[in-house]
Amino acid sequence: MLLFIPFKDSIRLGLLLGIVVLAAPAEARVTRYVTGNPADVAPALAGPAHDLGGGGTDVDPAIQWMIDKVRGCTDCATKIDVVVLRSSGDDGYNDPIYAMNGVDSVETLVITSTRDSNKSDVVATVQNAEVIFFAGGNQCDYVRYFKGTGVETAVEAVYTRGGGVGGTSAGTAIQSDFVYDACTGSVTSAQALANPYHPYIHFTYGFFGWQDLDATITDTHFVTRDRMGRTMAFVARQIQDGITSNALGVAVNEQTSVVVDKNGLARVKGAGPAYFVLGDHAPEVCEPGTPLTYSNYKIWKVTSGGTFNLRNRPTTGYYLRSVTNGQLNGNPYAP
- Indicate the residue among 111, 140, 175 that finishes a domain: 175
Q: How far is CA 66 from CA 40, 47, 123, 162, 195, in A?
A: 19, 8, 22, 11, 38
Boundary of a domain, candidates 175, 190, 215: 175
Note whether 88 and 108 are same-domain residues: yes
Q: Dump pLDDT digits (tens) for 164-220.
A: 999 999 999 999 999 999 999 999 999 999 999 999 999 999 999 999 999 999 999
Same domain, 240 and 335: yes
Assess if residue 13 is contained within a domain. Answer: no
215 in a structural domain = yes
User: Quick one: DSSP state of residue 153?
Assistant: H
Which string of b and e fits 304-317 if b means at least 16 CB within 10 Å?
Answer: beeebebeebeeee
Residues in the chain: 335
Q: Are residues 227 and 171 in the same domain?
A: no
Q: What is the pLDDT of residue 12?
A: 46
Domain count, the chain: 2
Which pLDDT score is estimated for 28? 63
Shared-domain flag, residues 89 and 182: no
In this predicted structure, the answer to whether residue 20 has a pLDDT above a threshold of 50 is no
Q: How many CB atoms lie within 10 A of CB 270?
A: 25
Instruction: Report how far residue 221's alpha carbon sits from residue 208's, in angstroms, rounded to the nearest whole number.
Output: 21
Asked whether residue 59 falls in the same domain as residue 99, the answer is yes
In angstroms, rounded to a whole number, what is the distance separating the alpha carbons of residues 217 and 219?
7
Q: Same structural domain for residues 146 and 100?
A: yes
Let me know whether 122 and 237 are in one domain: no
Residue 73: predicted pLDDT: 96
Contact 49, 67 (CB under 8 A): no
Residue 22 confidence class, pLDDT cut points 50, 70, 90:
very low
pLDDT at 11: 42
What is the per-residue pLDDT across 64-116, written as a single tens digit (0 to 9) for each? Answer: 999 999 999 999 999 999 999 999 999 999 999 999 999 999 999 999 999 99
Q: 0.85 exceeded by the pTM?
A: yes
Mean pLDDT over 147-169 rounds to 98
Region 128-142: what's the mean pLDDT? 97
CATH classification at residue 141: 3.40.50.880
Pairing of strands 131-134, 80-86: parallel
Give the mean pLDDT of the chain.
93
Each residue's pLDDT tens digit, 258-281: 999 999 999 999 999 999 999 999
Q: Are residues 136 and 222 in the same domain?
A: no
Residue 19 within any structural domain of the chain: no
The reply to whether 163 and 184 lie within a common domain is no
Indicate the pairing of strand 49-53 with strand 256-260: antiparallel
325 found inside a domain = yes
Q: What is the pLDDT of residue 158?
A: 98
Q: Which of 117, 140, 175 is the last residue of a domain?
A: 175
Asked if residue 285 is part of any domain, the answer here is yes
CA distance 20 to 77: 57
* 126 and 237 part of one domain: no
Separation between Cα atoms, residue 333 and residue 335, nearest integer Å: 7
Domain coverage including residue 144: 27-175
**Do 193 and 26 contact (CB within 8 A), yes or no?**
no
